[in-house]
Amino acid sequence: MTGSFDLQSYMTKGVERVVAEALKATLKDPKESAFMLRFAAASRTASKKRRRAEDAGEHIPPFLIASITSRCNLHCAGCYSRQNHATTDEKAVKQLTAEEWAKLFDEADELGISFILLAGGEPMLRRDVIEAAGERTDILFPIFTNGTFIDERYFTLFDKCRNLIPIMSIEGGREITDERRGDGIYDKLISNMDEFGRRGLVFGASVTVTRENFMEVTSDAFLDSLSDRGCKAVIFVEYVPVTDESSELAPTDIQRDFLAGEIHRLREKRPEMVYISFPGDEKLSGGCVAAGRGFFHINSHGGAEPCPFSPYSDVNVKNGSLRDAMHSPLFTALQSGDILLDDHDGGCVLYEKRALVEALIGQKGC
């Protein structure tokens, strides 16, 4: 799609690596590896669908991020979703229904999208949507959750629907986690992890990497505390400032390069877990992979956005298909323009160039 760099092959290689590492990490659990083998086959079918579309001139990304609610019970310091007003304490209005999300998941499957990351707000508040996701076993649904609503009924659901993978947000040890998320959150997360481990259920951890917790969350002590409890994946999410005040929290370029090197080291030295960094190494992916290059975002009321950190949309899936959203005027302009490929300081080019993004949609939004 862009010059000689074959983005589809690059993204599919990334998917195949994650699936292969997940297969390796779950080998000891017969029920889990049986599911992962079936998913690996479904993922290959999805890759072929995307390749056929690519050869016919249409680019389909393998990932979708779906924010299924604008509500959350926590008020974490520096929460991008609250700062973007995508998460509020007001009554949730105009949210997509479970039927609308189910239709969207089926469209994604037909297109060849094999990973749908469920986020929010706090996604566990939408049990109806999560149960609909559980029925779509050809798609893997990592659920980015604060872990506070995980109860007996959810443990039973995760045992039944192995395509639902809870990814619990943690900042490091008790002190730094409770400082950002609230008292008692760390202990709740650890008791969840111990219970997942006891039941042999797969789970992961999402770590927001800042200048403050940088060394702690890449330390062997912290990673041991996760893998010893049965954690199978660690998603390092580089903190993306969404206000000038919070830009001091974003990792420096030196720290980001160190993190990229660390992840390569961990993949070799600690294969018991899968390691993913977001937004990842743009130098390798030929620029930012948002806006449908590697993924895109559907917000809680159906707006199609380049990324959760770039809350701009000019198309709503309530008025059209997922395919239409993928080819929105904004996405088309971003994919054909230079913004996504631009050099930039810090973690997020779309945040840095937000004035240009706003100009592209004339602030109309929907």
Residues lying near ligand SF4 in the complex (CB under 6 A): 72, 74-76, 79, 81-82, 87, 120-122, 146
Instruction: Pick the closer one to ligand SF4 by CB: 120 or 287.
Output: 120
What kind and span of H or E run contains 215?
A: helix 214-217
- Please tell me the distance from the alpha carbon of residue 330 to that of residue 313, in angstroms, as a whole number: 7
- CA-to-CA distance for 157 and 155, rounded, in angstroms? 5
Q: Cβ of residue 182: shortest distance to ligand SF4, in angstroms?
A: 9
Q: Which residue's CB is nearer to ligand SF4, number 43 or number 146?
A: 146
How is residue 85 annotated by DSSP?
A: T
Min CB(146)–ligand SF4 separation in Å:
4
CA distance 223 to 52: 40
Gap between the Cα atoms of 180 and 207, Å rounded: 12
DSSP type of residue 13 = H
Please, what is the minimum distance in Å from the beta carbon of residue 75 to ligand SF4?
Answer: 5
Least distance (Å) between residue 6 CB and ligand SF4: 35
- Nearest residue (CB) to ligand SF4, 130 versus 334: 130
Q: How far is the CB of 149 from ligand SF4 (least distance, A)?
A: 11
**Which candidate, 105, 43, 111, places its Cα nearest to that of 68?**
105
In the complex, the smallest distance separating the C-beta of residue 178 from ligand SF4, rounded to whole angstroms, is 12
Nearer Cβ to ligand SF4 (145/285): 145
* Token representation of residue 1: 């799609």
Nearest-5° angle of CA 64, CA 302, CA 239? 50
* Residue 258 parent element (H or E): helix 253-269
Nearer to ligand SF4 among residue 177 and residue 316 (C-beta): 177
How many CA atoms are closer than 13 Å to the CA of 87, on its beta-carbon side?
23
Q: ω before 251 within 30° of 0 (cis)? A: no
The minimum distance between CB 51 and ligand SF4, in angstroms, equals 35
Non-local CB neighbours of 268 within 8 Å, separated by 6+ positions: none
CB atoms within 10 A of CB 305: 28
Q: Which is nearer to ligand SF4, 54 or 171 (CB)?
A: 171
Shorter beta-carbon distance to ligand SF4: residue 61 or 123: 123
